[in-house]
Amino acid sequence: MQWSCAILVLLLFSLLQGACKQPSTSADRDTEEQLASRFRKARDPGQALALAHRIRCLRMARRLRQAGARTWPSGPVRLPRLAGDQARLTLLTLDGRVHRFLSFAGGVRRLPARDLSHLQTLIIKTRDELEHGALEPSFPRLARLLARLHHQLLGGAQLGRTRQLVVAADGMTRLVPFHALVSGQNEGRPRFVADDLAVSYAVCPGLSPPAGLSGRAFVIVPSYAPQRTHLAAVAQEIAAVSRRFPQRTTIHRGGDATLARLLAALGQPGAVVHFAGHGLADLQPGTTPELLLSEDQPPATLARLTRRPVRGGLVVLAACTTAFPALFRDGKRLVAPTGPVEGLLAAGAGAVIASSWNVKDRLSAQQMQVFYQRLGPQDRAMSTSYRELMRRLTSPHPRFWAGYALYVR
Domain ranges across the chain: 217-408
Residue 330's pLDDT is what? Answer: 83
- The per-residue pLDDT for range 227-246, each reduced to its tens digit, is 554 467 899 999 999 999 99
- Comparing 68-82, 176-190, 251-265, which segment has the lowest mean pLDDT? 68-82
Residue 361's pLDDT is what? Answer: 87
Identify residue 165 by its one-letter amino acid code: L
- Comparing 21-25, 294-298, 367-371, which segment has the lowest mean pLDDT? 21-25
Residue 212's pLDDT is what? Answer: 82
Range 274-302 average pLDDT: 86
Residues in CB range of 156: below 8 A, 6 or more apart? 111, 112
Count other C-beta atoms under 10 Å from residue 326's C-beta: 27
Phi, psi for residue 177 in degrees, rounded to 5: -85, 90
- The per-residue pLDDT for range 335-379, each reduced to its tens digit, is 889 999 999 999 999 999 999 999 988 999 999 999 999 998 778
Given 3.40.50.1460, 3.10.20.30, 3.30.310.50, 3.40.640.10, which CATH number is that of 217-408?
3.40.50.1460
Residue 207's pLDDT is what? Answer: 75
73 or 89: whose pLDDT is higher? 89
Residues in CB range of 47: below 8 A, 6 or more apart? none
376, exposed or middle or buried, with CB in 10 Å at 0-12, 13-18, 19+? exposed
- The per-residue pLDDT for range 145-157, each reduced to its tens digit, is 999 999 999 999 9
Count other C-beta atoms under 10 Å from residue 135's C-beta: 10
CA-based Rg of the chain, rounded to a whole angstrom? 20
SS3 content of the chain, % helix, strand, coil (to 5): 35, 20, 40
111 or 22: whose pLDDT is higher? 111
- Comparing 152-161, 203-212, 258-267, 312-321, which segment has the lowest mean pLDDT? 203-212
Dist. CA 389–CA 364, nearest whole Å: 9
- Comparing 188-202, 255-269, 367-381, which segment has the lowest mean pLDDT? 367-381
Which of 168, 161, 179 is closest to 88 using CA atoms?
A: 168
105 or 287: whose pLDDT is higher? 105
- The per-residue pLDDT for range 309-327, each reduced to its tens digit, is 999 999 999 999 999 998 8
Dist. CA 121–CA 102, nearest whole Å: 24
